[in-house]
A and B are shown apart, each in its own frame.
Chain A
Amino acid sequence: MKLLSILCMGVLFSLPLQANELLTELAPNATTATSSDPLTTLLDRQAALPAVEKKATDEYLQPAPLADIPTGAFGDKVRLGYQLFVNTQQLRNKYVGNELNCVNCHMNAGIKANASPLWAAYFAYPAYRKKNDKVNSFQERIQGCFSYSMNGKAPVSGAPELVAISAYSYWLGMSGLMAQYNVAGTVPELSDLELVKGAKRDDFPMPKGISDHLDIAALSQLPGRGFPKTPQPELAYSPVSRYDCVQSALSSVSW
């Protein structure tokens, strides 16, 4: 009977304790449901991305709706580009080594201004990149995405995936420019070889109705082309210095 009474007392004590815990939980939270509560506080110390006001003079390209992508071989490449862009995980373990899809950063399927839109990127390449210290064609820039952002293995130059993403980027940009400058007709089709180069080059077939308004330099700097500049993080990222930190912390401990 001793065991029984001890157990029963244990049960009886534990019940009101639970109720008390509940009450103390409720009291502070009912009044302070702010952004500083621990459930929504991120461990990451990076500042939130600032919202960038659109300048009155800025005019962002408005690519044609996806329903306007033409039927046929060229249109199929554009559509494949869209599909790869929003579901890049279909290339997992082939070209993609992490859980990302392109659209995670390049929002609205690479259309949203100030989220590094494809329509702006296409007219900014070929260009020199410090990262690999050479002039990169558009497909080389996309290869960089696979190697670094996607932590994978880039498709070889001229691979159907690179042609498709180039075709999609070109189609978004060109349809947007044609709408902006009232150029009639459908987006001119380009060969695969032309598509993967990018549009920042003298021999790019730019419709006259557009080149009359924007030269190559202007096209390579379309408004809304990047991500807004963010403040420097408080701590510089460096795995090496973190190791050094641990080392110096260890050495300062008196054993």
Chain B
Amino acid sequence: MKTSFYLFGILLSLPMCNVMLVNAAETSSQQAIPAAAQLCTSCHGAQGQGMGVIDPRLAGLSAEYINNQLTLFQTGKRQNPTMLAMAATVQGDNIAVVSEYFSQQPVADIPLQFRGDKVVISDPFEALAFQGDWSRVIPACTSCHDSSGVGGGQFPRLAGQEVSYLKTQLLSWQNGTRKGDVDNMMGNIAVKLTAAEIDGLSEFFANIK
């Protein structure tokens, strides 16, 4: 009883009310949200499902990718005022805890379209996604982001991601406010995309659900 009294006191003394919310969530939902991920869920959703236009989906991203992005926000290689502040709240071992939690959240099962399933592709954005445009040295998106853009490892899932987020990211790669991948791969590709292609590709992948 003495210990629980102390614990209660500690909780009250903390200036972060979200820690208390954790305990509430832990008792009410089956999968406990780790304390470190609590703040994230207020924008990204309890299961990282995203919140429409405002916030991208985290479910379906690998732990490796989320982990890396948190570090990139913290070091300013990904520039986003909100995420600079939010990522700063997740430090040390908590980075792995948060990454693991969101990477394990469910996403809808989608039928996979593999490269080569269609030999002739009439839609120009689908063609870019599955075949690239080597006359401009643009590789197929799905050569790294995997079949139907489901992603894996260091490559994020594109399928079913929020359309405005995808568009913003391609523009950020283009103007250099997003960096930090190996050899600036994505920056090199994004600068070659036209505005129409950025719109079209974002729509194409967002609609894979």
A residues at B contact (CB < 8 Å): 3-4, 7-8, 11, 18-19, 21-22, 25-26, 29-30, 33, 35, 39-40, 42, 66-67, 69, 79, 82-87, 90, 101, 103-104, 107-109, 111-112
Cβ of B131 < 8 Å from any Cβ of A? yes
Q: Which residues of A contact B74 (CB under 8 A)?
A: 22, 25-26
**Residue of B71, B115, B120, B184 with most partner-chain A CB within 10 A:** B115
Q: Is B108 among interface residues, defined by CB-CB distance under 8 A?
A: no
A25 to B84, CA, bound (A): 12
CB distance from B128 to the nearest CB of A (A): 13
A87 — which chain B residues lie within 8 A by C-beta?
Answer: 114-117
Q: Are B120 and A67 in contact (CB under 8 A)?
A: yes
Interface range on chain B (Cβ under 8 Å from partner): 20 to 34
Choice from A4, A29, A111, A112 contacting B75 with Cβ under 8 Å: A29
Interface residues of B in 148-206 (CB under 8 A from A): 179-184
Answer whether residue B53 sits at the interface, using C-beta atoms and an 8 A cutoff. no
Q: How far is the CA of A191 from the CA of B159 in the complex (A)?
A: 42
Known: A33-B179, A69-B119, A103-B143. A4 touches B10 (CB 8 A): yes
Decide: A4 and B9 in contact? CB cutoff 8 A.
yes
Q: Which residue of A has the minimal Cβ distance to B182?
A: A40
A3 with B134: in contact, given A83-B116, A90-B114 (CB under 8 Å)? no
Contact of A79 among B119, B143, B180, B181 (CB under 8 A): B119
Q: Chain A residues with Cβ under 8 A from B10's Cβ?
A: 4, 7-8, 11
Q: B139 on the interface (CB 8 Å rule)?
A: yes
B88 part of interface (Cβ distance < 8 Å): yes
Distance, CA A85 to CA B134, complexed state (A): 16
Pick from B6, B88, B114, B115: contact of A22, CB below 8 A.
B88
Tell me which of A33, A82, A86 contacts B77 (CB under 8 A).
Answer: A33
Contact of B34 with A by CB under 8 A: no
Q: Which of B68, B72, B116, B131 has its CB near the most chain A CB atoms (within 10 A)? A: B116
